[in-house]
Each structure stands twice: as structure tokens, then as C-alpha cells.
Amino acid sequence: MSIDTIISKYNFSHTSIDKVTVCIMKNDGLKELVHILDCSITEKQAYVIAKAVCEHVFGEDIDVSAPQMTLDRIAIAESEQETIQEKIKRNKEDKARKIIEEDMMLYRLELEFIKKAAEM
């Protein structure tokens, strides 16, 4: 993403880009960057912005210029992964519960059918 794209997409000024650059130079984390920018962006968006600024201003990858931001982004991804795994587990449990409920319903219907057949 280019600096011009960031400026237009996030309604940034060159002052905002300067603030990002300072945070990168100080090796601040993503929370600090979001706080300093004082706008409604997420930490994930802040990472994308900082990454683009690193490439444009420093000619380096964000891992080299701002390792703390990379570590923060990894922590966010791991947290999201845990949440996704929990949702997958809940979905599997819900599906298993539905299958058991359907089996029980079929068992009851079969039992009723057998009782009615025995009465005849």
C-alpha cells in the first residue's frame, strides 16, 4: 500500500504519517501507535499503515524497523486463532448435539411405531 493510498483511505495528513514514522523509530507497539494517531483505527489497521510507512520511508520490512509492532501483530493473530478454534469446537459440539437429538427423536418414533404395531 502506498503512502498516498493510506492518506486517502484513512483521511490521514502528512502529520499523521510523521507520527507513524516517529513511533516506528521509537519501536512503539501498536497500542501506542493507535493512541498517538488518536483516530478510530484498529491495531490491525495500524500495523498495515506502519508496514507501508516502513517500506516507503525506511526501505525496510516492518520486522526490521519496528519489531515490537510485528510482535504485537503476532499476538493479535494468535488471539484470533484461539477464538477461531473455540468457535470451531463449539460448532462441532453443536453439530454432535443435533445429531444426538435427531437420533433420539428417530428412536422415539421407532419405539412408538413398534408399540402401535404390537397393539394391532
Distance CA 9, CA 56 (A): 16
Amino acid at 28: D
Start-end of H helices in the chain = 3-9, 14-26, 30-37, 43-53, 62-65, 67-119
**Which pLDDT band holds residue 83 (cuts at 50, 70, 90)?**
confident
Distance CA 91, CA 94 (A): 5
pLDDT in tens, 10-45: 888 889 999 999 999 999 999 999 999 988 899 999
Average pLDDT, the chain: 91
Task: Assess contact for 80 and 42: CB atoms under 8 A.
Answer: no
Residue 29: the pLDDT is 96
Residue 55: the pLDDT is 94
